[in-house]
């Protein structure tokens, strides 16, 4: 799995950080998403899929 985030689309809701904190972080300066791991470990795959579903702005993509 490879994860990308679109900071221009992100509205800073933070759902991704609460759902998969090992993969996503929030910028202290502007509250927007930061990617901690573009290639999450197998144990985080389900959480990343949940984060995609919960993101209100469609800012997370997985391939």
CB atoms within 10 A of CB 59: 21
Q: Is 48 in the site for ligand SF4 (CB under 6 A)?
A: no
Residue 17, C-beta contacts closer than 8 angstroms, at least 6 positions apart: 24, 25, 26, 33
Task: Select the residue interacting with ligand SF4 from 2, 29, 39, 56 (CB under 6 A).
Answer: 56
**Residues binding ligand SF4: number (CB under 6 A):** 15
Are 47 and 3 in contact by the 8 Å Cβ rule? The answer is no
Which CB atom, from 18 or from 41, has the smaller least distance to ligand SF4?
18
- Residues in the site for ligand SF4, rule: CB under 6 A? 5, 10-16, 24, 33, 55-57, 59-60
């Amino acid at each position: 799995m490879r994860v990308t985030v679109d900071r221009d689309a992100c509205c800073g809701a933070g759902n991704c950080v609460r759902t998969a904190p090992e993969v996503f972080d929030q910028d202290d300066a502007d509250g927007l998403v930061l990617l901690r791991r573009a290639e999450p470990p197998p144990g985080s795959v389900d959480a990343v899929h949940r984060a995609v579903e919960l993101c209100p702005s469609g800012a997370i993509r997985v391939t």
